[in-house]
Amino acid sequence: MPHAETLELLAFASVLVVAAAIDLRSRRIPDACIVSAVAIRLAYLVHVAATGGDAGALVTRSLAGAVGVTIPLVALVLVMDRVLGRPSMGGGDVKLLGVCGLYLGVVQVMLLVAVACAVGLAGNALSRRPRGATRPRDFPFAPAIATGCMVAIAWGPTFEGWLLAA
């Protein structure tokens, strides 16, 4: 039988795929995706506590990851909205990144953000804009977030060990 953490991450990956697909189609991330991801994480935390694991440390890491990405991101978005005179990032993207922080912790979420920004910039550069458009169209960022999250899940522990050892 698969390990509980593996099942948790597979369920979370499924939520990310759904959020990315919906964002591609409708340029929004449903709150149901955010709530589902939080519920999956809470269920895993309950499982860890019930099986005698160090749930306290995991809760601390989860909350630090969520707060560590959400607060600076909200501040940056508010500044950029003011500078640009238009929305710079949707609220669903901010919430999705916050949820990713619940799963990854502070250090690994830095890898997620770096990869997501690179993927998002590449995707935006390659996307076609309507002729005569005076400003960039809204860009679905959830696929880039999902990609960054998968990279962080796969290589985050190695990245974290490398970064903390340096």
Within 10 A of 79 (CB to CB), how many other CB atoms are there? 11
Nearest by Cα to 31 from 90, 116, 88, 89: 90
> What pTM was estimated for this model as a whole?
0.89
Instruction: State residue 2's pLDDT score.
Output: 67
Tens of pLDDT, residues 33-69: 999 999 999 999 999 999 999 999 999 999 999 999 9
Find the distance separating the first CA and the last CA of the chain, reported in whole Å. Answer: 37
Domain extent for 153: 4-127+135-165
Q: What is the dihedral of CA 74, 77, 82, 83, to 10 degrees?
A: 140
Residue type, 59: V
Tens of pLDDT, residues 80-128: 999 999 888 999 999 999 999 999 999 899 999 999 999 998 988 887 7
Q: For the chain, what is the domain count?
A: 1
Nearest by Cα to 40 from 69, 13, 68: 13
With beta carbons less than 8 A apart as the criterion, state whether 20 and 141 touch.
Answer: no
